[in-house]
Homo-oligomer: A and B are copies of this chain.
Amino acid sequence: MSVTNLRVLLARRPNGAPVAEDFTVERGSMPAPSLGEVLVQHRYLSLDPYMRGRMSDAKSYAKPVAIGAVMEGACVGHVVESRDSRFAPGDAVMGGFGWQQYSSVPAGRLIKINEDEAPLSASLGVLGMPGLTAWVGLEDIGQPKPGETVVVSAASGAVGQVVGQIAKRRGAKVIGIAGGPEKCAFVTKTLGFDACLDHRGPDLGAALDEAAPDGVDVYWENVGGAVQAAVFPRLRDFGRMVMCGMISQYNEAPGADVSAAPPGPNLGAVVRKRLRIQGFIVSDTGWPRYGKFRAEMLDHMKSGLVWREDVVDGLNAAPEAFIGLLKGANFGKLVVRIA
């Protein structure tokens, strides 16, 4: 067993889109568990868009990662050594272990997972934070009803693929939006959405009019920008806009004045159409409902709900993979397999 701990640190705050030099990959010493802690060997690291926010010191809902600190992130792994009676070596666990090979973590911050139910990495995606995000946003805000039309941006991504498949199972017509024909084919043929529109096409508005001639009841917002501008005027009366993310602007320069952000839609339609536009962060209310969510998702998986991972090998590759994620280069839930 290696006595060093490969890890990725935040070297400096990115200016706009992150670059490789914003990260440092180095070997640290092995963490030793204190009483009540568990030493975990990580198998997979999740890479998610929210991490861009943690790299910045702009005001946000969570503290930034300090310069020189290990990048934050969720991992799944196995217990190597336990100094808490609830865990034993070999147990599969998930938690916020960071971009590194090993961590010592207070036992109360771990969730034990059953590897017989699904592959380990699924607990970072369809059964993890992204899946829970999809489920919470639909439960609390989107609330699709049978016969309604749901539009999902970043439809082949970690959250989008789950949103659409849950909405289908609740009787909605589901239209994905994704980048390029390969992703669109996956969204319709493999995920089973009713349609998928390529946002790189010449006229997304016209494509929406054709796919959803009566308008849109629920819009799941992952991206913002031009896609939002195309969907917003097509919301129907009593439409809901689930504000999960706006990845298109995550790379704006830190400290930019609010007034410098690109403008959004005129909100007159919110009154006229009685729209609801609501943002949420899964960590606010999601985890106490994890058990209910996981049971429902395991049922869906038995009846054909699928998911796609984009697996990258080795922590050395994590910075480039994350940089690509913010540009839509991944195809499916992005995870790093840790050697």
0/1 interface trace, chain A 265-276, chain B, CB 8 Å (1 if under): 111111111111
Q: How far is the CB of A223 from chain B (nearest CB, A)?
A: 11
A28 at the interface (CB under 8 A from B): no
A277: B residues at CB distance < 8 A? 267, 270, 275-278
Q: Which of A237, A258, A279, A281 has the most CB of B within 10 A?
A: A279
**Contacting A278 at CB < 8 Å: which of B61, B261, B268, B278?**
B278
A263 at the interface (CB under 8 A from B): yes
Given that A233-B258, A237-B61, A258-B233 are known contacts, is A272 also in contact with B279, CB under 8 Å in the complex? yes
Q: Is there contact, CB below 8 Å, between B266 and A262?
A: yes
Stretch of A71-79, A82-90, A105-113, A243-251 with 4 or more beta carbons under 8 angstroms from chain B: A243-251
Q: How far is the CB of A121 from chain B (nearest CB, A)?
A: 26
0/1 interface trace, chain A 156-200, chain B, CB 8 Å (1 if under): 000000000000000000000000000000000000000000000
Given A233-B258, A262-B266, 9 other A-B contacts at CB below 8 A?
A61-B273, A228-B267, A243-B270, A245-B271, A263-B263, A267-B277, A271-B279, A274-B279, A277-B277
Closest 4 CB pairs of A and B: A263-B263, A261-B266, A270-B279, A271-B279
